[in-house]
Amino acid sequence: MPHLTIDSIDWDQSGGGLPYAITELQSQLPVAGRVARQMAGPDRNDYFLVVVDTPLRFHPSPTFDWSRTQPEFHGRDGAGAFLWVYAVVVCSLFAGTQLHNGMRSFPVRVALVVDNTLGNDERLFFEKCEYAAQGFVSDLPGREPVSEPLQD
């Protein structure tokens, strides 16, 4: 199974994403992950479910709908309630480009999986994710590279 690293993320200058969470997420990068599979979404067919090697701690906004999550992934620390994120969804920043063998600092969009039942779904449902940011991913050295192109 192919592996990659999420090297960095930054806020989406087009106005999407989670600007308040960028600093927290950046502090946990780089993070390695296994590309579990490709998923079709409502708008394109090249989304990739990535199971991260180390879970990410995500403190949502006060208006976050916790009913979208499973309670066993909730936590609390000095900064408040948080969610352990075990998977992310990535897609190329520009439709038509593809995750590929040997990629380095490849531009992507990154969404946090907040409903872990997504792993059982055949298609991507946006309501099970929280779009976070734009970022860069690379093949993980020393592990099987991402093949070109990835298919189910």
pLDDT tens across the length of the chain (152 residues) = 389 999 999 988 778 888 889 999 999 999 999 999 999 999 999 999 999 999 999 999 999 999 999 999 999 999 999 999 999 999 999 988 999 889 999 999 999 999 999 999 999 999 999 999 999 999 986 655 444 444 44
- The pLDDT value recorded for residue 1 is 36
Give the pair of three-digit tokens for residue 104.
């380095």
Nearest to 119 by CA among 82, 83, 86: 86
How far is the C-alpha of 152 from the C-alpha of 67, rounded, in Å? 30
**Helix ranges (DSSP H) in 4-135:** 22-26
How far is the C-alpha of 87 from the C-alpha of 94, rounded, in Å? 22
What burial class does residue 35 get, using C-beta atoms within 10 Å of its C-beta: 0-12 exposed, 13-18 middle, 19+ buried? buried
Could you tell me which residues are beta bridge partners of residue 109?
Answer: 91, 134
- The pLDDT value recorded for residue 146 is 46
- The pLDDT value recorded for residue 151 is 46
Give the pair of three-digit tokens for residue 15.
């106005």
How far is the C-alpha of 142 from the C-alpha of 145, rounded, in Å? 8
Nearest to 125 by CA among 28, 20, 49, 25: 49
Torsion of CA 95, 101, 104, 109, to 10 degrees: 30
pTM of this structure: 0.89
- The pLDDT value recorded for residue 145 is 43
